[in-house]
A and B are shown apart, each in its own frame.
Chain A
Amino acid sequence: MGEFHTSDRQSPPPLPPLPKGGSYEGPHLAMGVAPSDIVRNSTENRTRRVNRGEPRSNCLCRPVPAVPRSAVTWISCLLLLLAGCSEQDMVTQPKILPYQESDFFADGRSARPVVPGTVARGHLRVDRAYYEGKVGDELIDTIPRKVTRDVLERGQQRYNIYCSPCHDRTGEGRGMIVQRGFPQPPTFHQDRLRDAPVGHFYNVITHGYGAMYSYAARVDPDDRWAIVAYIRALQLSQHATLDDVPSAKRDALKTEGSR
C-alpha cells in the first residue's frame, strides 16, 4: 500500500509517440501558450502528468517538426527557467507518500485499512500451525520452522527490542518499564511456562495477554517463532549446568566467572 506510485520511483518508461492533436502539454507550450499557464496548471493536468510517470522535461525537449529547431531550443530554455517558478509542483507533488494526509478519504488517512473479506497478496496464511500456533484447537509444541543459529540470533535481537523493556533480558520480568510501574509479568523460568507449549508463546505475542498488548503489528510470524525459540533457549539457560556446556568452552567459562 505504501508504495503507491511505484512508477515514479523507477526509470521512466519509453517515451510515448508524439500526439497529433493538442491535448498533450509539451508541443503546445513550445508553440507559445502564455507561460503563466504552466505555472497555474490545473490539478487535473498535473495529476495526469504524474500518472504518466514522465518528468516534464521529456515533453519540452521534443522538437516539434513545424517550428525551427533553434526557436524550440530557446523557448524551451526560457520555459525551463520559468519552471523554477512552479517549484511548488515538484516539491509537493500530487502523489501520496507513506502516512501523508490525504483529502481524498473522509478520515484523512492515505494508508487504507484492508477491505473486509479480502486477502492481500502473500497473506493467505492457510498453514494454521505456522500462523496460529495451533492444530485444530490444540496448541502445537514443536516450532514449525527450522531453528538454526541464525534464527536464534534473530530471535535474540527481536526479543531484546520488543520484549526486554518489560521481561528484561533474562526473562525474569523485571525490565525497565516494570521498574517504572508497569504490572510485573511472570518470570519465564517458572514451571508453568517451562511446560507451556510453544504455541502458547506464539499466541501471547500475536494476541497479547492480560495487560500485555499484542505485538502482531510489529513482529511478523517468522520473527515470532524466532522469539519463541529464543525464549526456550533462555529457559534452558537458567537451568543449565556446566555439563551442558561444550567441553572446549568450559574452561573459558570458569575463568570468566559469573557474568
Chain B
Amino acid sequence: MSQIFHPSMNTISRVSIFGALFFVLGTLGIVYGIFGSPYVTQVHVVRDQPVPFSHEHHVSALGLDCRYCHTSVENSSFAGIPPTETCMTCHSQIWTESPMLEPVRASLRNNEPIRWNRVHDLPDYVFFNHGIHINKGIGCTSCHGRVDKMPLMWKNEPLTMEWCLSCHRAPEKHIRPREDVFVMDWAPPAGKDQIALGKELLKQYDIPVHRLTDCYTCHR
C-alpha cells in the first residue's frame, strides 16, 4: 500500500502545530492588549463635565489643599465631591460673570445639584475605602497621579484588580509618612531610599501585609 501522507507532510504538520500555538497565544495576547488598553480601562481619557473644572488651576496656581473640596477623604470611604456651595465660597465674588461658571450659579439658584460625571468608578462588588489608605500613608498621587497637572480630570491608573494587588503585595514601594499624603511632588528624603523607608513605615503603622491580598479584603 502506498503512503497516504507524503514526507513533506511532516514539515507541514509541524508548522501547523506551531502555527496553531502561535495563533492561540497571539489571540490571547491581543485580547489581553485590548483589555489593558485605554479603550477599555479609560486611562488618560478625559470626560465631558458640566463645568470644565481645572485641578491644575485650583491646586497648582491657587495652592488649594485637596481637603478644601474633598472634605471626607480622610475619614470616610468616599472622598466626597464638593457641593455647589463650596465653589461659591470663592465664585460668589470672583469670576462672577464667567460663562463657564453659569451651571454653578444655576445650581445655586435652582437648588439643583451639579451632575458631575464620574471618572473613577469601581464595580459595586469591590469594597474600597479612602480613609484607610490616607491614614496608612498612601498618597493621592500613588493612585490618581499628578492631579495638580490635570487641566481636566483623567484616570491615571487602570483600577483593575491586578493594579490594586500590585501594591497590596508590596506596599513598601509606595508608602510615605502620613503627613505627606497630600503633597503632590513628594519624593523620599535625600539619602533614604523608598524601600527602606517603606519597610520602616510598614512596621510603624502596623500594616498587616499578609492579609492585604486575601479576597475578602476587597470583596465583602
Contact = CB atoms under 8 A, between A and B. Distances in A.
Interface stretch (B26-34, B41-49, B77-85, B183-191): B77-85
Nearest to B88: A213
- The size class of the interface chain B forms with chain A is 20 to 34
A249 B80 CA distance: 42
Interface stretch (B58-66, B155-163, B200-208): B58-66
Sorted nearest first, the 5 A-B pairs with minimum C-beta distance are A93-B124, A98-B78, A91-B123, A213-B89, A161-B65
B53 interface: no
Residue with the highest number of chain A CB atoms closer than 10 Å, among B81, B86, B124: B124
B93 interface: yes
A218 interface: yes
Interface residues of A, number: 33
Given A98-B77, A217-B83, A218-B86, A91 B124 contact: yes
Interface of B: 62-65, 67-68, 71, 76-78, 80-81, 83, 85-86, 88-90, 92-94, 112-113, 115, 123-125, 127, 216, 220
A45 to B, nearest CB: 17
A165 interface: yes
17 contacts: A2-B76, A11-B216, A91-B123, A93-B124, A98-B76, A98-B77, A98-B78, A98-B80, A99-B80, A108-B113, A161-B68, A165-B62, A165-B64, A180-B94, A181-B94, A215-B89, A218-B86
Contacts of B216: 11
Contact of B124 (A11, A92, A215, A217): A92
A165 B93 CA distance: 14
A161 B125 contact: no
Given A95-B124, A162-B68, A177 B94 contact: yes
A160 interface: yes
A11 B220 contact: yes
Interface in A189-226: 211-213, 215, 217-218
B77 A160 contact: no
A217 B77 CA distance: 18
Contacts of A213: 85, 88-89, 92
B123 A90 contact: yes
Contacts of B80: 98-99
Given A161-B67, A213-B88, 20 more contacts: A9-B220, A11-B216, A92-B123, A93-B125, A97-B78, A97-B124, A98-B77, A98-B78, A99-B78, A99-B81, A107-B112, A160-B65, A162-B68, A165-B63, A176-B62, A176-B63, A177-B90, A182-B94, A211-B93, A218-B71
